[in-house]
A and B are shown apart, each in its own frame.
Chain A
Amino acid sequence: MSPDGAVGEVARGGLPRGRPASPAAARFPRLRAGASYLQVAPLAVILALFLVIPILTIVVVSFWRFDEYRIIPDVVLDNYSYLLTSAVTLGLYLNTLKYAALAWVLTLGIGFAVAYFLAFHVRSTTWQMTLFVLCTIPFWTSNIIRMISWIPFLGRHGLLNQALLSLGLVDRPLEFLLFSDFAIVLAFVHLYTLFMVVPIFNSMMRIDRALIEAAVDAGATARQVVWHVVLPLCKPGIAIGSIFVVTLVMGDFITVRLMGGGQRASVGLAMSNEISLLQYPAAAADAVALLAVVLLMVAAMMRIVDVRKEL
């Protein structure tokens, strides 16, 4: 999506449609075309080197054979036939989709609420920006550190359990808090909510306040304003945030490993296992399949909301 959009921008800049071409360009139409190609070239080269070629390499390697310590150039379908027939794959994808769905619902709910508060309840721009910057403070540390910090907090003898025990709310430590699906989704929500807040906040700030006044004048309740005016106008922001959250969760492996205590698995974690066991072709096949699934998901989202039209 973003590369596509970026190329579009550059192309538009290079070919000023509708404006009269400069005299030199008019006399030498080839020069005009050449110049625009030249303008597109840096980005095209970068994308080709760092995106297209690596992905093609992954696709090629996914057809290779491997044994314990070697990968052997070949064209075999073993990697895919195991991938598509194994019960493990299904389990992995169901698990990963479950995390993605839960993380998406929760980040969307929290993200929308936070953005709504910032955009409509905080009146002064200074305070809006201050609070917005405040939201980004956790990003000053690495996301692994932020994740690991949960472990001593949620553990069997962790702070939360000690607090609950001493308050007499539970009579034995709650074990589901750590090394569980709960812990994994918690970490995802903690890590990725900001990716929802930012684009939704951006959309909300663009909403013409007159529309809301009109809705109120027409007798809409606050809830109706949110549901019928704010929400539809935030769709592009929600779509962009959703793309961030869903793609990040679908490709994650470290959160699942650390917060799941190695007992839970996701597609990304399976891939990382395969890489560590030198099964690059199998990992490549996994990556191709995951890429296809995620692209389909993104395409579906883009179909529901035309992000570019509504921006």
Chain B
Amino acid sequence: MTRKTKGNTGRQGLSRRAFVKSAAVAGGAAIGSGAVRGFPTIWAQNIKNVTLRQFGTGVSNLNAVAEKCKQDTGITIQMTALDSDAVAQRAVTQPNSYDIADIEYWICKKVFPSGNLQPMEVKKLAYYDAIVPIFKTGKLTPDSVIAQGTAPHTVGFVEGKNSTSFAKQPTEWMTLIPTIYNGDTLGIRPDLIKKPVKNWRDLLDSDYVGKASILNIPSIGIMDAAMVCESLGKVTYADKGNMTREEIDKTMAVLTEAKKAGQFRAFWKTFDESVNLMASGEVVIQSMWSPAVAAVRSKGIACTYQPLEEGYRAWGGGLGLAKHLSGLELDAAYEYLNWYLSGWVGAYLNRQGYYSACLETAKKYMSADEWGYWMEGKPAQKDILSPDGKVMEKAGAVRDGGSFEERMGHIACWNSVMDENSYMIRKWNEFIVA
């Protein structure tokens, strides 16, 4: 394992080690010199030479984050953006190809037991207390009901440093620090839909024959399908995130029937496909992701991320540390994680319509108007700009779904991976062929 790591890091690794030797001498001086731009650690000087390789999906692997990180901490982050299948694959099969894994919690449920990641010490996480309680206890407020599926807190902690079994309660060892999360719902074209859309079952409404779409990523598509079936009253589930074979069969039967009746115009697999289907008017109602709705709107086409009575299907991702990280690189990784939670990134992500893990820190980097629009569901006082300065919403706009509490307080189910996953995938494939 160690040897492999050396081989992989190659020349860079050697020079790094050489540097550590000389740095050890300078260590005392570094302590003496104290805070370096607000990130006081003894390694602050040599950390500048560390490069961390991070991979994940395009949603959070943003170059702007790497650039800002370099500026603030000196650490170089190499970002690799992949699609979610490839992310899961890489996390398991190429553990030495990355230092930081940016993965979703349901992927974590499968990846962490493989032993390729190491848990993080809570006491080294400066902003642990500020992390939203959804990721610690599963409850947004003390009286919230815990949603179905792979709720992040169920896979957020392990028993000990070398443990790969998830803990029921928060422990000193965290698997991932949450980065972004959101509640997903149906996107609609309000200009092409006359009557109000209030429930998940509206996806199969006869008014939209040939104009509906659902996403063709089995693990997520099945959840949207379950939300629809439950809303129709045709299937009841003990846990939509972990269905029995019978529940899977019933769900797929409802969908297959709708498909044969010509309800669906297409199934989409990538972000761009969903944007094109909606923007071109081929589809007027479909499962959608929040930034895809923003992308349709940015073309000047009306698109609403419609809140529904049954609630949202939520997802969340986080950063995990590769098992092989140690010494200076591990310290740099902690430094990076603490910087990540310190607010700038949080504000950046919030401005994209996602939610960040530490709201308090992010708030400091947002204007009162931005905070009001994105987090409190208030009408925008001025134009709302995206992180790269484009106008996203005009003054007076109110965010679909309202405030943070309103949205994240209405989670029906988290993205998950089922025990009957293989069976479900087979059934899903049958549905696509049907």
Contact = CB atoms under 8 A, between A and B. Distances in A.
Contacts of A95: 433
B269 interface: yes
A128 to B, nearest CB: 41
B296 interface: no
A88 B93 CA distance: 29
A230 interface: no
Contacts of A310: none
Interface in B249-283: 259, 264-269, 273, 276, 280-282
B81 interface: no
Contact of A156 (B259, B282, B417, B432): B282
Size bracket, chain B contacts: 20 to 34
Nearest to B268: A262
Contacts of A92: 433
A30 interface: no
Nearest to B113: A69
Contacts of B110: 68-69
A8 to B, nearest CB: 41
Contacts of B88: 69, 278
Contact of B280 (A82, A152, A273): A152
Given A155-B282, A157-B280, A87 B430 contact: yes
Nearest to B114: A69
B43 to A, nearest CB: 34
B218 A277 contact: yes
B421 interface: yes
Contact of B111 (A69, A82, A91, A263): A69
Interface in A46-102: 67-70, 82, 86-88, 91-92, 95
Contacts, number: 72
B432 A278 contact: no
B71 interface: no
A257 B270 CA distance: 12
B92 A265 contact: no
A35 B110 CA distance: 56
Nearest to A260: B266
A156 B281 contact: yes
B429 interface: yes
Contacts of B430: 87-88
A88 B282 contact: no
B85 A261 contact: no
Interface string B89-103: 100110000000000
B218 A261 contact: no
Size bracket, chain A contacts: 20 to 34
A95 B432 CA distance: 12
B425 interface: yes
B92 A263 contact: no
Interface in B81-133: 85, 88-89, 92-93, 110-111, 114
A9 to B, nearest CB: 42
Contact of B267 (A156, A178, A263, A279): A263
A265 B269 CA distance: 14
A60 B275 CA distance: 41
Interface string A219-258: 0000000000000000000000000000000000000010
A306 interface: no
Given A69-B111, A278-B88, A270 B268 contact: no
Given A67-B422, A178-B282, A277-B85, A262 B433 contact: no
A263 B264 contact: yes
B216 A262 contact: yes
A276 interface: yes
Contact of A155 (B218, B259, B273, B280): B280
Nearest to B85: A276
A262 B269 contact: yes
A69 B116 CA distance: 12
A151 to B, nearest CB: 8
A179 interface: yes
B210 interface: yes
B280 A262 contact: no
Given A68-B422, A276-B85, A278-B88, A263 B259 contact: yes
Contacts of B216: 262
Given A156-B282, A278-B85, A270 B429 contact: yes
Nearest to B109: A68
Which residue among B268, B429, B434 has the maximum number of chain A CB atoms within 10 Å of its CB? B429
A213 interface: no
Contact of B281 (A157, A270, A276): A157
Given A92-B433, A270-B433, A277-B85, A68 B282 contact: no
Interface in A261-292: 261-263, 265, 270, 273, 276-279
A62 B216 CA distance: 25
Contacts of A157: 280-282
A95 B434 CA distance: 11
Contact of A261 (B93, B266, B429, B433): B266
A218 to B, nearest CB: 54
Which residue among A67, A155, A262, A279 has the maximum number of chain B CB atoms within 10 Å of its CB? A262
A7 B424 CA distance: 47
B266 A262 contact: yes
Nearest to B266: A261
Nearest to A66: B422
Which residue among A69, A257, A270, A278 has the maximum number of chain B CB atoms within 10 Å of its CB? A69
Interface of B: 85, 88-89, 92-93, 110-111, 114, 210, 216, 218, 259, 264-269, 273, 276, 280-282, 417, 421-422, 425-426, 429-430, 432-434
Given A262-B216, A277-B85, A277-B218, 10 more contacts: A68-B422, A69-B110, A87-B430, A88-B430, A157-B281, A179-B265, A262-B432, A270-B429, A273-B432, A278-B88
Interface of A: 67-70, 82, 86-88, 91-92, 95, 151-152, 155-157, 175, 178-179, 257, 261-263, 265, 270, 273, 276-279
7 contacts: A88-B426, A88-B430, A179-B266, A261-B266, A263-B259, A263-B266, A278-B88
